[in-house]
Amino acid sequence: MDEYRKHIQEAFGESSEDSSDDGDDRQQQPQGSNIGGEAQFIFGENPNWERISEIKGLSLCRDFLTADQQSTLLASILQEGWFSDASHNQAMRFGDLPAWATELSTSIQELIQYSDYDPDSMEMNEQEFIFPSELLIREPLFNQLIVNSYQPGEGICAHVDLMRFEDGIALVSLESSCVMHFSRVENGDEKKIPVYLTPGCLLLISGESRYEWKHEINRKPGFQKWDGLEIDQKRRTSITLRKLCKSD
Ligand SMILES: O=C(O)CCC(=O)C(=O)O
Ligand SMILES: [Fe+2]
């Protein structure tokens, strides 16, 4: 058994792959997750993780939230009233997070924990797969939340997330799609790697992708294109979950 799976099993018990005798993963899935109090969180049969081959530590689960779950989550965010004034486009919370964010965080943890994966086929070091196991078992997994609301044409400059946050960042994307570009902290202008973020996707950023790469959403002409087509930019909402370093 590889080290990654061993760590996860020590922390959470048997996984679906090892305990299921009829091959039906659904029976093993955690029940009762309830983002925003309405939508039942049920993983797809086998969550599909994409890796971005050029960037170590970056994992994308495109079908993380169903359309219903996205609507419920968005409704919970809007109910907070953070963006009722058009001049506000960002909300930040530390410590005790709103119930829907705690629920989301639990869902992320469960998704990673129950994901069927094959490190060999991913051609990755086990420790780099999806999310480092030692981070997955920290308590709490996340204690800082940022919700960004982008109007058409608005983006975010290239940055590395502040060092006051630990490794292991989760980002959930809602509403309009966008292209997030990653560029190396050193020699970053050489090549930008585009990552297409679609509604309901989950992006996990750890290791090299967190410390050695900057990320940005550049809205200048030419940057928001995918498959040769210009993305129709409407409002986009993103949720970033992180953990503050202990010394803070
Ligand atoms: O909106 C996004 O998807 C990215 C947000 C971000 O990079 C951040 O909050 O640090
Ligand atoms: Fe960021």
CATH number (domain holding residue 63): 2.60.120.590
**Interval between CA 152 and ligand 2 midpoint (Å):** 19
pLDDT bucket at 141, cuts 50 / 70 / 90: very high
**pLDDT(5) > 80:** no
The pLDDT of 179-187, averaged and rounded, is 94
86-123 pLDDT, tens per residue? 899 999 999 999 999 999 999 999 999 888 555 555 54
Whether residue 74 is contained in a domain is answered as yes
pLDDT at site 114 = 81
Ligand nearest the Cα atom of residue 159: 2
Q: SS3 letters for 36-104?
A: HHCCCCCCCCCCCEEECCCCCCEEEECCCCCHHHHHHHHHHHHHCCCCCCCCCCEEEEECCCCHHHHHH
Is 146's C-beta closer than 6 angstroms to any atom of ligand 1?
Answer: yes
| Structural domain containing residue 226 | 3-13+32-242
Whether residue 25 is contained in a domain is answered as no
Whether residue 123 is contained in a domain is answered as yes
pLDDT at site 187 = 79
Is 240's C-beta closer than 6 angstroms to any atom of ligand 1?
Answer: yes
**pLDDT(48) > 90:** no
Instruction: Name the residue with tokens 């996990």.
Output: 204
Pairing status of strand 144-150 against strand 236-242: antiparallel
The pTM for the full model equals: 0.84
Whether residue 20 is contained in a domain is answered as no
CB of 215 closer than 8 Å to CB of 245 = no
Segment among 75-79, 123-127, 190-194, 216-220 with least mean pLDDT: 123-127
pLDDT at site 116 = 57
Is 148's C-beta closer than 6 angstroms to any atom of ligand 1?
Answer: yes
Whether residue 26 is contained in a domain is answered as no
Is 156's C-beta closer than 6 angstroms to any atom of ligand 1?
Answer: yes
Whether residue 108 is contained in a domain is answered as yes
**pLDDT(15) > 50:** no
The pLDDT of 154-160, averaged and rounded, is 97
**pLDDT(14) > 80:** no
Whether residue 73 is contained in a domain is answered as yes
Number of compact structural domains in the chain: 1
Of 117 and 196, which is predicted with more confidence? Answer: 196
